[in-house]
Every structure is written in C-alpha cells, then in structure tokens.
Structure 1
C-alpha cells in the first residue's frame, strides 16, 4: 500500500508538468502567429504611405495632348473664310469619293490655348499647292492669321516655326520638275508672323554642292 501511495503523487506531478508544457507550447504558438499577423499588417500599412509620399512629390501631371488638340473640318473652315480667294475656293471639291485636296496639320505656332491649324489647298491632278493658311483659336473661334496664295506654295510646321515653300519654274518647266524653290521661315512675334529666314535652292546646281542663298532684297 505504501508503494502505491508513493507512486500516486509522482504520477500526478508528471501529468501536471505535461499539462504545463502543453499550455506553454500553445501559448508560444499563439504568440508566434500573432507576431506574424502583426508584422504582415504593418508591411501593408507602410506600402500606401510610401506611395502617397512619392505621389506628393510630383508637382503636376503630364499634359494631355487632347487638352490642346481640337480636330476641325478644314474644308468648311476654308470655305467660310472671307480672306480666302474665290479662285482657291474653286478647288475645294472632292477629287475622288469624299476626299478633298487639302493637307491639314496641327501644332503650336502662336502659343494659343489650343494647337494652331495649317491648311494647304492643292490641285487634284498634280497636288500643286494653290493656297496655304494658318488658323489660330481665339475666343472659341478660329481666326486666319496667315495666308499665301502665290501658287505653287506649301506651308508646314518646323520646330515651332512656320515654313513656307514656293516652287520656282523657268519657262518650259513641267509641273513635276521645278527649277528650284524658295523657302521662307516665319515666327510668331507681337501678334503676327514675321519672316526670320529665307533661302533659295537651285535644283540644277544641287548635284554639284550646296547652292548659295539668294538675298531676300
């Protein structure tokens, strides 16, 4: 009986110690899971805060091209323009189907609120320029701020300047083979286009080297 009595406390102590060990393991596991969950949440919380600080460093969004570009009906614009000669308006007829003999380009020439419009009216048969115009938006309407109707002529935008090319024909030259060209460069100054440069190219001398510019007089 004594032996049995001595073994009972020992067994009881073993069971008690095992229970304590189990509780300790469970508690440790719970702390580990909680620590992982807390760490994960912390990482996610820091992400947006970092993004916000980067976004706050950006001064302004990149300009949207659609804010300054407005497509227009160039044919209707030229037809309704009183500054365009009647002779040029006669060419505003479809060449084939609904295709009109006009070339249209958009760009910043005058520093206006929206992009300026350069319109070239051509012939259907030979695509020779008969009129070139620049339109600038002012007060919700487009105003003609430049015109050149000395055919053959063609205008285009060159690095923010207006470049106007006029073909030169000697007597007997076919339309497809001019003898040379005059190129005029204009910049927008004090509310109007001012000629800044001029040069002449003689095609007959082009093979031998760069021709010498002809003074504008």
Structure 2
C-alpha cells in the first residue's frame, strides 16, 4: 500500500511542473534529437556579424549604412552595434548556422534578418528578409520570421499583434511551412 503522503507529494510535483500554456511557458512540441546545438565557439567559432553584414553583397546598401556604432557608444565606452547574432542548426550543414538581426539603434525596430551557412570555411548568405519591422528567431531547427502587426489605432510603440512565418530547410533553401497572425489586446 502506498502512503497517502507519497501520493500527495507526486500530485503536488505534477501540479507544479504543469504543461499548460499560461503565458509564462511556451509549448514547443517534441525536442529534436537529430543534432545537438553546440556552443557558438564550437566548430564554427563566433563570427563578427558587423563584418559579415558589411561585406555581404546581398545586403542592401542603405542597411549597410545602419551597421555602425549606436550613438553614445565608443570614445572610451564599448562600441554597441544594432546587430544580434544567434547560432543554431537551421540548414543541413554540420556546423552551426548564424542568424543575424539588424535593427535601429533608437527604438530597436528590426530592419533585416540574415541567415548564413558555413561552406568551405566561409559563410554564405542563404536567407535574407529586409522588410521592416522584422525579427528572426531559431525555433527547434526552424527559422521563424516575426513581424509586428498594427491596427489603424495603434501607436508606433504599441502594436497589438504579430505574425509569425516559419521556414524549414528543404532541398537546399528555406521553404515556408506555416504562418500565423494574431491581432488584439
């Protein structure tokens, strides 16, 4: 016979670790076991996203001009650029791919999303989206492109929704596999 206190403890543990989406927990489904994501310094090493964007002929010139230190940085302070690099497995490469988000310095509006795949010791641009406002994320080996959605009454600071387009690497390029749009407060 199992003591009542043991059953109560197990029930309490299940209740604490619940799986419902209550806003603080995002359900993602089963974890991928095909490739483990190493730290960014393993295999490929960290890239300099500023150099990568400035040297990429596919990046629009007006966006290259935004790849500069933000005001108030430098001159004795560390230079801060409006770029964010993330590493993960999005393509069929054995090395981590690099996702770079380019934004504005002031309000952080996403200007462009770029994905680079390591090929032959260098990085090749395999995805580009330069339609602001845009932000990219790596989600369980999928590329997610997120856009703010505004209604006619929304202020620039406060969109009431977002759209998410998910891409998977198939046949040597990214193909859209889903799209969702949610608007409302």
TM > 0.5: yes
CA RMSD of superposed structures (Å): 1.9
Verify the 8 A CA contact 1:155 1:162 in the aligned structure 2: yes
TM-score, length-scaled by structure 2: 0.72
Change (3 A) 1:64 1:178: closer
* Partner of residue 156, structure 1: 137
CA contact (8 A) 1:134 1:147 kept: yes
Partner of residue 128 from structure 2, selected from 147, 161, 165:
147
For the pair shown, the structure with the greater C-alpha radius of gyration is 1
1:63 deviates by: 9.8
| Runs of 4+ with >2 A deviation | 62-69, 169-175
Match of 1:182 in 2: 163
Q: Which runs of 5+ in 1 are unaligned?
A: 1-61, 205-217
**Larger RCO (alpha carbons 8 Å, 6+ apart):** 2
Distance 1:184 1:121, change over 3 A: same
In the alignment, structure 2 segments of 5+ residues that lack a partner are 1-35
Deviation of 1:114 after TM superposition, in Å, equals: 1.2
Instruction: Indicate whether 1:194 and 2:169 are aligned.
Output: no
Q: Could you state the TM-score of these two structures normalised by the residue count of structure 1?
A: 0.62
Residue matched to 1:94: 69
Q: Within the alignment, does 1:74 sit opposite 2:56 as a pair?
A: no
Instruction: Flag the structure with higher helix content.
Output: 1
Number of residue pairs aligned between Structure 1 and Structure 2 = 143
